Amino acid sequence: MQALFVDNLTVIDFSYFDSERGIVGESLILDVKLFGDLNDEGMLFDFSFVKKRIKSCVDNLVDHKFLVAKKQENMSVEQTPQQLTINLETINSNIFQHVSPHQAVSFIESNSVTAESITATIHQTIKSILPENVTRIELNLRPENIDGEFYHYTHGLKKHLGDCQRIAHGHRSKIEVLEDGSYSAKWSSHIAAMWQDIYLATNEDIKEEKVVNGIDYLVFEYHANQGLFQLTIPKSRCFLIESDTTVELIAAFLVQYLKNQSPSSKFEVIAYEGVDKGAIASI
């Protein structure tokens, strides 16, 4: 039996619902190992097919989506042919409502969304697209090893023509701040703490504010080319800026924010969007 492996096949950027943390942005790296017998070409599976077919399959299933555990408690689902409405509640009674086209959501066959439960879901789908000589697959879904500060954020980009338009997708992202040319542990840590498990949004997408059981909520809504998107989320979980939340605009916001805190300093912000990509702003 032979084995074929591809490390770092793809990065999955998504958000998921956690019964304690609420909506959380995440980025996970996928490694794939295939086992089986060689075909007539002396190959187990052509690398080009592994990279294209398996990556496409995984991306279509979970990338830039809102992942929800199908078997979790305190959840209700309403659907029409065009729209999916999911009502969720955390253990501390915070409510969340996610409204979107069906393709913006992926249900995980478990009572919680974890790297293991996501792996089990995509494992079954990948098996169905592999040739017969591939008899076994191993998947390793893992977070990036970050030596430094990072934060989890969720957002939606209504002007984006691709899947970034979905109102609840997210990232686990490094943040690096340089003050007067040197790395600043103080300011990097400050931003990571300020934006831990945050929903980043723009004021113009607020449809309404409301109070439920003494808790303040914001309702965000916009129309994009995939359809209507709406998200109800506790106000305390949100950070509002005056622009959209592309990584370029996030970096620009952060560098100005830091300049306001320390006007005499020169700042450079390296803001990541998931793994190995991002934007730099300086002032």
pLDDT of 129: 79
Say how far apart CA 107 and CA 239 lie, in whole Å. Answer: 27
Domain holding 231, by residue range, is 2-172+205-239
Residue 44: DSSP 8-state: S
Nearest residue to 191 via CA among 277, 256, 274, 283: 256
pLDDT in tens, 54-101: 899 999 999 999 999 999 999 999 999 999 999 999 999 999 999 999
Sequence-distant (≥ 6) Cβ neighbours of residue 255 within 8 angstroms: 267, 268, 269, 281, 282, 283
Q: In this structure, is residue 105 part of a structural domain?
A: yes
Say how far apart CA 71 and CA 48 lie, in whole Å. Answer: 36
pLDDT of 143: 97
Total tally of structural domains belonging to the chain = 1
Strand order in the sheet with 2-18: 105-108, 66-69, 2-18, 22-36, 134-142
**3 is written with which tokens?**
């084995």
pLDDT of 194: 98
DSSP for 124-192, please give it: HHHHTTS-TTEEEEEEEEE----SS-EEEEEE--TT-SSGGGSTTEEEEEEEEEEETTEE-HHHHHHHH
The better pLDDT of the pair 129, 78 is held by: 78
**129 is written with which tokens?**
């697209």
Say how far apart CA 70 and CA 106 lie, in whole Å. Answer: 9
pLDDT of 45: 66
Q: In this structure, is residue 269 part of a structural domain?
A: no
pLDDT of 179: 98
Number of other residues whose CB lies within 10 A of the CB of residue 100: 25
Say how far apart CA 179 and CA 22 lie, in whole Å. Answer: 33
Q: What is the CATH number of the domain that holds 40?
A: 3.30.479.10
Q: Across all residues in the chain, what is the average pLDDT? A: 94
| pLDDT of residue 215 exceeding 90 | yes
Q: In this structure, is residue 135 part of a structural domain?
A: yes
**Of the ranges 120-124, 162-166, 201-205, which one carries the lowest mean pLDDT score?**
120-124
Say how far apart CA 210 and CA 162 lie, in whole Å. Answer: 31
Q: In this structure, is residue 194 part of a structural domain?
A: no
